[in-house]
Amino acid sequence: MTELYKLSIQEAGAMLRARQISSVELTRAHLDRIRTVDDKVKAFTLVTDDLAMRQAHEADRHFANGDTVSALMGIPMAIKDVICTKGITTTCGSNMLKGFRPPFDATVMERLNAAGAVMLGKTNMDEFAMGSSTEHSAFFPTHNPWDLQRIPGGSSGGSAAAVAAGMAMGALGSDTGGSIRQPAALCNVVGLKPTYGRVSRYGLVAFASSLDQIGPFARSARDAALILQAIAGPDLRDSTNSPQGVPDYVARLNGDIKGLRIGVPEEYWEQGTQPGVEKVVREDIAKLREMGAEVGEVSLPHTKYGVPVYYIIAPAEASANLARYDGVKYGYSYRDTSDMWEALEKTRQYGFGPEVKRRIMLGTYALSSGYNDKYYKQAEMVRSLITEDFTRAFEKFDVLISPASPSVAFKLGEISDPYEMYMQDVLTIPANLAGTCGVSIPGGFSQGLPVGLQLLGNFFAEDTILRVADAFERVTDYHTRWPG
């Protein structure tokens, strides 16, 4: 039998229900795997062994009783450290929240707990989800399991690396400008950003509230569908959450993409895409055509404004959201003074890292009086043009296709220029600005490193992009390959 940590959620679920394996064995296999490889990968900020074993025993009791259980019952998962877990440290990769224990669970955690999933621990990330390499974590960088000298992508780099290295069967991340899809691409796993409003943001520590979405990482489209199924759906505690019902994602994975209209955004090749990445993705597109899809070119003319618009809107929202870290209510507090203003200043000076401060300054500037119209309002107007690009494209096409990241994983420390780092998300940011959904799936390899294929879908068309992803997996084996 293959090692337990190599099973898919679907396979493990079937074996659990047939009582061929127990959740305790499965969980132990993953905790062992963490002990063996996480010294090198450093995906976790916290491993919750005791909790995991308790939850595994509980799941096994349900199996023993023959209870009807969810597909995630007894399945070991990892959670990005930006998602609030009741009584369990939630740091956002920041010294500001070091030791912070939320008094409540995020909605997605309530749902995973209700489904009986096992939590292995919290995963490393760029501080407050600002970054594309997980090098901006205040604690340590995470390494790419495919090449330990390289970054895993970010900001959900810990979650992507954990799933890629067999330390978790699935994981949750958050995507504000690409933080699920880009690390998924660089680590050869599936990472899905749902439509804005599909998954509740309640208990997700806010970065940019009009862009943030929680989504799944897994090693197959089917597994990602199972996780999305468990976390998606209406929640009154998030006023931007959609009341729309959730379809049965797995039931729609029928392998059939005949006649499906796939659009290739021409502007997406012009964004500094590496030739090796372009070659792989063009081959993937040819494959989808062979499978019966109708492929055509499409124009998203405002693509080049995506990154500049994002770097007004996201920092503006972040500067407001991060004002709450004042040393009074949460986490780190500078106490070595009797002066209130000094305490506030020093708390923020020592609590936040350089990238977070850069964003707060950018955002505060963009919102300051006199500049509000010039920057923020202007950005909001261009944002609506970007949304219209998608609306128009989806009148003609069911799915848009592109690389998820213009390049393969780069070396740790290789990019120090913030602007160059921001450009890593040039192909993922537009979907966040529009609010539509997207997934990155294993698309092949360039220089021995994973290339992510990005499938972009219309609002609430997660079922469509997952169907294409699953159909693609049926004729390729990229998603089954393991790092050495």
Catalytic residues: 80, 155, 179
Our CB check for ligand GLN shows the closer of 174 and 347 to be 174
Our CB check for ligand GLN shows the closer of 132 and 241 to be 132
Report the chain's terminal Cα–Cα distance, integer Å.
Answer: 19
Closest CA relative to residue 386, chosen from 307, 269, 273, 270: 307
Identify the helix (H) or strand (E) that includes residue 216.
Answer: strand 213-218
Q: Please state the closest distance from residue 410 (CB atom) to ligand GLN, in A.
A: 14
Strands 76-80, 118-123: pairing is parallel
From residue 365, how far is each of 318, 347, 351 by CA, in Å? 12, 21, 21
Residue 301 to residue 323: CA distance in whole angstroms: 35
- Residue pair 125/153 in contact by the 8 Å Cβ criterion: no
- Residue pair 134/52 in contact by the 8 Å Cβ criterion: no
Our CB check for ligand GLN shows the closer of 298 and 356 to be 356
- Residue pair 235/202 in contact by the 8 Å Cβ criterion: yes
Binding positions for ligand GLN, rule: CB under 6 A: 129-132, 155, 174-179, 207, 314, 425
- Residue pair 154/126 in contact by the 8 Å Cβ criterion: yes
- Helix/strand/coil percentages in the chain, nearest 5: 45, 15, 40
Residue 64 to residue 450: CA distance in whole angstroms: 40
Q: E strands, 154-225, where?
A: 170-175, 190-193, 213-218
Q: Please state the closest distance from residue 192 (CB atom) to ligand GLN, in A.
A: 13
Our CB check for ligand GLN shows the closer of 5 and 375 to be 375
Cis-peptide into 209, omega within 30 deg = no
Q: Please state the closest distance from residue 334 (CB atom) to ligand GLN, in A.
A: 26
Residue 210 structure tokens = 């009009």
Q: Please state the closest distance from residue 178 (CB atom) to ligand GLN, in A.
A: 5
Q: Please state the closest distance from residue 16 (CB atom) to ligand GLN, in A.
A: 33
Q: Please state the closest distance from residue 164 (CB atom) to ligand GLN, in A.
A: 18
Max CA pair span of the chain: 71
Closest CA relative to residue 76, chosen from 118, 111, 38: 118
- 3-state secondary structure at position 232: strand
Residue 404 to residue 424: CA distance in whole angstroms: 9
Q: Please state the closest distance from residue 235 (CB atom) to ligand GLN, in A.
A: 21
- Residue pair 141/412 in contact by the 8 Å Cβ criterion: yes
Our CB check for ligand GLN shows the closer of 13 and 131 to be 131
Our CB check for ligand GLN shows the closer of 97 and 260 to be 97
Our CB check for ligand GLN shows the closer of 13 and 178 to be 178
Q: Please state the closest distance from residue 332 (CB atom) to ligand GLN, in A.
A: 21
Our CB check for ligand GLN shows the closer of 286 and 361 to be 361
> Residue 166: which residues within 8 A CB-CB, separation 6 or more?
3, 5, 6, 30, 33, 37, 482
457 DSSP β-pair partners: 399, 437
